[in-house]
A and B are shown apart, each in its own frame.
Chain A
């Protein structure tokens, strides 16, 4: 008995040594855009989209696992590997489109910060510059270890969506059934339903996550030997993330959808109006939790996206990078990082915010870069010279290729449709 307990303690210690990258990356996936999409899904279609979450979780685990395995085995970032294996020109194309799509995401995160705090009566002309400054300083002044603790805390804060879901008093039985079976009532021919399915899937796997995850695995110094444990970090993170997504959908389904539909919400561009709509239906606390959750998620993602972009681009194209370098030693790195924040936040202070254009541009770029990134990842994880014994197994490859084909198909469908 004593021995058993000791073994468990060692296992937990081993796990705590590697926990972080996978959990954080999966959670940032529920950013301003993600929360908006899940809210829409619940408000427009009730429980009828919940069935997508289990396949989504599997896809997320499969893809994130490849990124973290590559990081642990090679000790190199994804953009380094793309450059080394696929040459300069392809790397350049991937990096340019990555910057465009990530810029769109940064704008969306600052929009989330602005609109969530506007619910509390704070002006965006104060909070957006302040948030930009906080993000810039946090990353430039912090060390990997200290930032990781802050990020893990931010990941934990997503619990507020679970509480908001509980406060919405959903029909548990209906929700549970809808999670494991696809409801027959809404047909596959319904255009708006299908495009919502695509949006939900599309928001789950973003190119930047793969770069960020692999880079943080390398930065944390996770090695091949620790890798088995590290896999649990990825799995746990993905499951938690989708549990949160489930509660967001359920909260909106049980209230907004149940009370007659989202008539005033069809023109919403972010998640804040959904929080407001929850207020009369689920009460003051649910509203506050929903709004605070949106602020947390947006700020969290806004802290990660610009720095992860700067690292990926500079490593891929061979510019000096790293927060241990001075501004004059790594000018491209710092300029890119700073401009992404300053311009991303600055867009929101313009008199007529061109959010629609930014988001269309971002989605188009995403549609271009995601197939490249996912296919490169599959080729790299199958390269024996690079991965040694840690190449994908046959069964894994079948699942992974299927996932990638579906993901790429849906992503392309999304920007062709819109």
Chain B
């Protein structure tokens, strides 16, 4: 078992059993639908056109490739969308390093070659993104290969194992064929995904947002820089955009749609589920720089007569963001706000305790309160959430501390 680099094999002479050169390696292909890492074939340029050479007929591979068969036995090469061509699709291209959480450029591809019954098994194991691959490619053909190997052995490798590599492919049909699903990427924290996405070109961003799970896409979108956010949503088709926007916090969704050109935001709203659409359009009516523009309409409110157990039940059923559950609000008849209970008090009280006994005097503001005053209220009362009430004293929405921090940072 040994490691062999893609750049070593590209251009390598292919010799038959008697040692005669029958062609040169032009490409190396993986067929992800058959096997995720195994080399399916070499594309060899021969005197009689391009042909594919399967590793089943290869005895050894490196700076020279030795085969056991004749070129007449090799199939003619026909380009196909369904295979990953290591030189064209990987070498010098950008990939996502899921483990290191960044976008990197590939200097070389490392394969593991295992001899099995007189032929080879070749598997892609890692991509080289460091100096070793760079120097190998610079000095190939200039420095003798044994000197080069000795030199390269001294350079510490910087490789990314293949399982942490997510490829960037902008053609949706080809993504399916190559089984690129951004599974690794989707498992990262949305804030990290957002950092990665900001480093990509627009078409690649679109590819990521078309592919990843709607919920993850929504959370990632919220973390993006507003300009990038806008560009991404504009690039998506309206169905997909609506699916993602539905999953966003209503306040973030409203901010985003408010930034888009009107025809685009109307188009997206039309595609949304009635309930989410209603919430978002309601928020859209307010100026972005007021309490109402910043608030979310997803919060937990229980009747003032409720006990701790009821609050916990409400928590279980709540689907909004985690930031919003820090406070449970108590409402009287007609939704009038009467009190607020911090989550901590609920955690330490007995299930039968009356919430009205645990309630703090609540702090609230009007929908048209300017955002600077909202921040001042958070500061003065050390709030985690702030209630927004309408002219009848009814609870209209809440503002969470993370929104206030974002708002202050944006200044």
- Does B93 make an interface contact (CB < 8 A)? yes
Inter-subunit contact A84/B231 (CB<8 Å) = no
A318 to B106, CA, bound (A): 8
A218 to B134, CA, bound (A): 26
- Does A76 make an interface contact (CB < 8 A)? yes
A84 to B90, CA, bound (A): 9
Inter-subunit contact B102/A84 (CB<8 Å) = no
Inter-subunit contact B104/A75 (CB<8 Å) = no
- Does B22 make an interface contact (CB < 8 A)? no
Which one of A87-95, A174-182, A257-265, A393-401 contacts B? A87-95
Apart from A223-B231, A317-B134, A322-B199: 15 A-B pairs, beta carbons within 8 A = A75-B201, A75-B202, A75-B203, A76-B201, A80-B94, A83-B92, A88-B92, A88-B107, A88-B134, A89-B138, A221-B227, A221-B228, A221-B231, A318-B107, A318-B134
Chain A residues near B202 (CB-CB < 8 A): 75, 223
A80 to B201, CA, bound (A): 11
A107 to B134, CA, bound (A): 30
- Does B137 make an interface contact (CB < 8 A)? yes
Considering the complex, give the chain B residue whose CB is closest to the CB of A319: B105
Inter-subunit contact B92/A87 (CB<8 Å) = yes
Proximity bits, A193-230, B CB within 8 Å = 1, else 0: 00000000000000000000000001001010000000
A337 to B201, CA, bound (A): 24
- Does A320 make an interface contact (CB < 8 A)? yes
Proximity bits, A83-120, B CB within 8 Å = 1, else 0: 11001110110000000000000000000000000000
Considering the complex, give the chain A residue whose CB is closest to the CB of B231: A221
- Does A52 make an interface contact (CB < 8 A)? no
Chain B residues near A74 (CB-CB < 8 A): 201, 203
Considering the complex, give the chain A residue whose CB is closest to the CB of B106: A318
> In the assembled complex, how far is the CB of residue A321 from the closest CB belonging to chain B, in whole angstroms?
10
Chain A residues near B137 (CB-CB < 8 A): 87-89
Closest 7 A/B residue pairs (Cβ):
A318-B105, A75-B201, A75-B202, A88-B137, A76-B201, A83-B92, A84-B92
Selected A-B contacts with CB under 8 Å, 11 pairs: A74-B201, A75-B202, A76-B201, A84-B92, A88-B107, A89-B138, A221-B228, A318-B104, A318-B105, A318-B107, A322-B199
Proximity bits, B170-202, A CB within 8 Å = 1, else 0: 000000000000000000000000000001011
- Does B40 make an interface contact (CB < 8 A)? no
A87 to B10, CA, bound (A): 13
Chain B residues near A322 (CB-CB < 8 A): 199
- Does B241 make an interface contact (CB < 8 A)? no
Contact partner of A84 (CB less than 8 A), chosen from B93, B104, B134, is B93
Could you list which residues of chain A lie within 8 angstroms of chain B, going by C-beta atoms?
Answer: 74-76, 80, 83-84, 87-89, 91-92, 218, 221, 223, 317-318, 320, 322
> In the assembled complex, how far is the CB of residue B201 from the closest CB belonging to chain A, in whole angstroms?
4
Q: How many residues of B contact A (CB 8 A)?
A: 20
- Does B84 make an interface contact (CB < 8 A)? no
Chain A residues near B92 (CB-CB < 8 A): 83-84, 87-88, 91
Considering the complex, give the chain A residue whose CB is closest to the CB of B205: A75
Inter-subunit contact A318/B227 (CB<8 Å) = no
Counting chain A CB atoms within 10 Å of each CB, which of B91, B92, B94, B199 scores highest?
B92
Contact partner of A88 (CB less than 8 A), chosen from B138, B204, B231, is B138
Considering the complex, give the chain A residue whose CB is closest to the CB of B202: A75
Chain A residues near B201 (CB-CB < 8 A): 74-76, 218
> In the assembled complex, how far is the CB of residue B90 from the closest CB belonging to chain A, in whole angstroms?
11
Proximity bits, B259-294, A CB within 8 Å = 1, else 0: 000000000000000000000000000000000000
A87 to B228, CA, bound (A): 29
> In the assembled complex, how far is the CB of residue B371 from the closest CB belonging to chain A, in whole angstroms?
21
Proximity bits, B224-262, A CB within 8 Å = 1, else 0: 000110010000000000000000000000000000000
> In the assembled complex, how far is the CB of residue A193 from the closest CB belonging to chain B, in whole angstroms?
43
Considering the complex, give the chain A residue whose CB is closest to the CB of B198: A324
* A318 with B138, Cβ < 8 A, contacts A76-B201, A87-B92 known: no
Chain B residues near A76 (CB-CB < 8 A): 201
Chain B residues near A84 (CB-CB < 8 A): 92-93
Chain A residues near B404 (CB-CB < 8 A): none
Inter-subunit contact A92/B138 (CB<8 Å) = yes
> In the assembled complex, how far is the CB of residue B111 from the closest CB belonging to chain A, in whole angstroms?
18
Within 8 A of A (CB), among B310-356: none
A322 to B105, CA, bound (A): 15
Within 8 A of A (CB), among B74-98: 91-94
A218 to B92, CA, bound (A): 20
* A318 with B203, Cβ < 8 A, contacts A88-B137, A88-B138 known: no
> In the assembled complex, how far is the CB of residue B284 from the closest CB belonging to chain A, in whole angstroms?
22
Counting chain B CB atoms within 10 Å of each CB, which of A83, A89, A322 scores highest?
A89
A91 to B107, CA, bound (A): 12
Considering the complex, give the chain B residue whose CB is closest to the CB of A74: B201
A317 to B227, CA, bound (A): 28
- Does B121 make an interface contact (CB < 8 A)? no
> In the assembled complex, how far is the CB of residue A402 from the closest CB belonging to chain B, in whole angstroms?
31
Chain B residues near A91 (CB-CB < 8 A): 92
> In the assembled complex, how far is the CB of residue B241 from the closest CB belonging to chain A, in whole angstroms?
16
Proximity bits, B99-116, A CB within 8 Å = 1, else 0: 000101101000000000
A91 to B199, CA, bound (A): 21
Considering the complex, give the chain B residue whose CB is closest to the CB of A318: B105
Chain B residues near A92 (CB-CB < 8 A): 134, 138
Inter-subunit contact B129/A318 (CB<8 Å) = yes
Considering the complex, give the chain B residue whose CB is closest to the CB of A77: B201
Proximity bits, B366-395, A CB within 8 Å = 1, else 0: 000000000000000000000000000000
A221 to B228, CA, bound (A): 8
Chain B residues near A221 (CB-CB < 8 A): 227-228, 231
Chain B residues near A87 (CB-CB < 8 A): 91-92, 137
A317 to B133, CA, bound (A): 12
Proximity bits, B131-161, A CB within 8 Å = 1, else 0: 0001001100000000000000000000000
A75 to B207, CA, bound (A): 14
Proximity bits, B292-314, A CB within 8 Å = 1, else 0: 00000000000000000000000
Chain B residues near A75 (CB-CB < 8 A): 201-204
Chain B residues near A320 (CB-CB < 8 A): 102
Chain A residues near B91 (CB-CB < 8 A): 87
Chain A residues near B231 (CB-CB < 8 A): 221, 223
Considering the complex, give the chain B residue whose CB is closest to the CB of A315: B105
Chain B residues near A88 (CB-CB < 8 A): 92, 107, 134, 137-138
Considering the complex, give the chain B residue whose CB is closest to the CB of A321: B199
Chain A residues near B104 (CB-CB < 8 A): 318
Chain B residues near A318 (CB-CB < 8 A): 104-105, 107, 129, 134
A317 to B138, CA, bound (A): 12
